A and B are shown apart, each in its own frame.
Chain A
Amino acid sequence: MAVPASTRQLTSARAISEGIASEMKRDPDVFIMGEDIGVYGGIFGATQDLLKEFGPERVRDTPISETAFIGAAIGAAAAGMRPIVELMFVDFFGVCMDQIYNHLAKNTYMSGGHVRLPVTLITAYGAGYNDAAQHSQSLYSLFAHVPGLKVVVPSTPYDAKGLIIQAIRDDNPVVYFMHKGIMGLGWMTMLDASAGPVPEEAYTIPFGVADVKREGTDVTIVTVGMMVHRSLAAAKKLADEGISAEVVDLRTLAPLDREAIVNSVRKTHRLLVVDEDYRSYGMTGEVIATVAESALDYLDAPARRLAEPDVPIPYSRPLEQYVLPNAEKIAAAARELVHG
């Protein structure tokens, strides 16, 4: 990632809303709908100031009817629009998943490629602020599991803007995950990395291209979203101890940049996969399977993973912190991998 140091700083939320605004200016068929995305500006700030700029016809607050408005995005897309639709918390997918996985994801295929659904579904995920089991999940692996959806999980404001523009311009359904903790919200502990350099002009970041956020030679940490920052913090600690960790930010889970994973493992010979999502049947397993299929011989130690340990996200602070990976746990796991 080459961003001039002089570039202005934006939060991820601002970067996303700016990306949406630039696409709405560029293409009159782009519009956005969802709960509280108008005057409120999105509960997590992803749509701030859009109503003021584009008016209520193109920035539509909806009733609490996710099935209806996500389904409406499908119908509007089939009829030539390019809807962006916000599912406030990804945890709420349960009330509308039929429209997402049986229709949004499948209509193109079932029509033999004749139906085009340029829908961008944006949604917030992530734990760490005591919102408990129904408002803290990650769940992106579940969406990445379903054929027909592209799944994007940005970690920085720069990536957030480039990937949202790429998503809106894609002629296929994209589910775009926003970690609440990196939006730069004033009402939760501000992670420094919530704000970062973002160019003013529009730019895109291609899907399926992972980004090495830190280069290293001793161990590869493959991760995504918020855990990129936790892993970078761990890598810093490790560097002080003389361990050189490489942090690979997948950026998109579907498509998945398997080549980047394999290339890094071929270099470092050790693999740690870090995920805020549930451990079993998820991203960590997919990454390790990729290495097992293509680079097993390069591993000097068995691959390891650090993820949410297959329990619902608990409420109480010590319980929640116990189940979430953090810099200390990541550093400890990497240390064990390197030193055995």
Chain B
Amino acid sequence: MPLDQQTALSLYRQMLTIRAFEETMVQIYMEGKTPVFDIGSGPVPGEMHLAAGQEPVAVGVCAHLRPTDTVTGPHRAHHFAIAKGVDLKKMTAEIFGKETGLGKGKGGHMHLFDPDVGFSCSGIIGAGMPSAVGAALAAKMKHRDDVAVAFFGEGAANQGAFHESLNLAATWKLPVVFVCEDNSYAISVPKTAATAIPSNADRAQAYGIPGVAVHENDVAAVYEVAEEAVARARRGEGPSLLEIHTDRYLGHFQGDPEVYRDPQEVTRLKEHDPIKRMRDQLMAQGWLTSEQDAEMHKAAQATVDEAVAFARESPYPAPEEALEDVFVTVG
């Protein structure tokens, strides 16, 4: 179904929020890390994998999901979390390592868990796929029409977990949508050097399930393809594999020297920026004026700033809190 105005604006708004969040994080991450870069210093320490440029895959797929559906994401997962409706304040506080964070500061940016909206992610490549299969199994066994979506990079498609999970989901006809987010690089190794065939979507054939590739970093195209895959899963017809091409504007992690790509590459990629592209489309349709656009940008930034302020003002956990939560209380 083509996008209506309300949906289109909602997708656009979410992409703006994600972009604002990631660009804000670029700045905050560097606090305390100049003039000498020390990964463990500043208000946001540790590795930081950002997804600026990759908004369409998250927003276009999650638009079809409900809070009771499950999403599992990889190490680079802010965009998926935001699109799935994870509480932005708690998520930001978690990234800051604060008591008010999703995991009370025990997880950090690669390990965000929000059971209220069925979201989790993992720092281990490919590891979210089996878990999504299990969530789908639970939905099936409980006779609910919930679905599970596993997001992972094109590098993860070479993990055993990918093949095991596709086979298991297909064999048991489970409501899973596997979404391969192809940003061309597994850290530094290009897909062409790591994957024997050009398109991961073709691997769906090996498991007898639909495999569809979207070659443009375009939210409307993702939305359309995901609509059918999610609906198919909800109808009980089994899993699908989507391959969505997208562009990573930043390094694998912040501080990545990016010696593996031409410094001009990102400039070229940004010429096809998905947010600009959508803004142009919205304006061409007469669904958005430049004043409204400026307002939406401002609102997105305000949402992010509010979350950051919440995180900054939140207290750190008491050190001895480190000893809690290994197990839940038996009940």
A residues sitting closer than 8 Å to B (CB atoms) are 31, 57-58, 60, 62-63, 65, 67-81, 83, 95, 98-99, 102-103, 106-116, 147-148, 150, 169-172
Contacts and interface: CB of A to CB of B under 8 A. Distances in A.
B122 to A, nearest CB: 7
Contact of B135 (A69, A75, A110): A75
B84 interface: no
A38 B52 CA distance: 47
Contacts of B212: none
B69 to A, nearest CB: 10
A76 B135 contact: yes
A67, A79, A148: which has the most chain B beta carbons within 10 Å?
A79
Given A68-B161, A111-B102, A57 B134 contact: no
B132 interface: yes
Contacts of B136: 75
A75 B136 CA distance: 8
Interface in B123-149: 124, 127, 129-139, 141-142, 148
A63 B164 CA distance: 8
A204 to B, nearest CB: 11
A67 B166 CA distance: 12
A171 B130 CA distance: 20
Contacts of B142: 80-81
A106 B131 CA distance: 14
Given A68-B130, A102-B122, A172 B327 contact: yes
B141 A81 contact: yes
Contact of A171 (B118, B135, B328): B328
Contacts of B134: 71-79, 81, 83
B301 interface: no
A99, A108, A111: which has the most chain B beta carbons within 10 Å?
A111
Contact of B115 (A99, A111, A148, A171): A111
A102 B121 CA distance: 12
A147 B326 contact: yes
Interface stretch (B8-16, B105-113, B274-282): B105-113
Interface of B: 70, 72, 101-108, 111, 113-115, 118, 120, 122, 124, 127, 129-139, 141-142, 148, 160-161, 164-165, 167-168, 171-172, 324-331
Contacts of A79: 70, 118, 134-135, 138-139
A81 B138 contact: yes
Given A75-B131, A98-B124, A102-B127, A65 B138 contact: no
B113 A110 contact: yes
A188 B179 CA distance: 48
A111 B135 contact: no
Contacts of B139: 79
Nearest to A119: B134
A205 to B, nearest CB: 14
22 contacts: A63-B168, A67-B130, A69-B130, A71-B129, A71-B130, A71-B165, A74-B131, A75-B132, A75-B134, A75-B136, A75-B138, A79-B70, A79-B118, A81-B142, A99-B130, A111-B103, A111-B107, A112-B103, A112-B107, A150-B327, A172-B328, A172-B330
B113 A107 contact: yes
Contacts of B108: 110
B130 A63 contact: no
Contact of A102 (B70, B102, B124): B124
Contact of A63 (B118, B167, B327): B167
A335 to B, nearest CB: 41
A67 B132 CA distance: 12
A80 B127 contact: no
A149 to B, nearest CB: 9
Given A58-B141, A78-B115, A112-B113, 18 more contacts: A63-B164, A68-B129, A71-B161, A72-B133, A75-B72, A75-B134, A75-B135, A75-B148, A78-B70, A79-B135, A81-B138, A98-B127, A102-B124, A111-B107, A111-B120, A112-B325, A114-B114, A150-B327
B328 to A, nearest CB: 5
Contact of A110 (B103, B160, B328): B103
A63, A71, A78: which has the most chain B beta carbons within 10 Å?
A71
Given A75-B137, A111-B115, A112-B101, A103 B131 contact: yes
A339 B37 CA distance: 64
A111 B325 CA distance: 8
Nearest to A166: B330
B130 A75 contact: yes
A70 B130 contact: yes
A147 B106 CA distance: 14
Contact of A109 (B120, B130, B326): B326
Given A75-B70, A110-B106, A65 B167 contact: yes
A251 to B, nearest CB: 17
Contacts of B130: 67-72, 74-75, 99
A115 B141 contact: no
Contacts of B161: 67-68, 71
A115 B72 CA distance: 14
Contacts of A65: 164-165, 167-168
Contacts of A112: 101-107, 113, 325
Given A75-B137, A76-B137, A112-B106, A171 B331 contact: yes
Contacts of B124: 98, 102-103
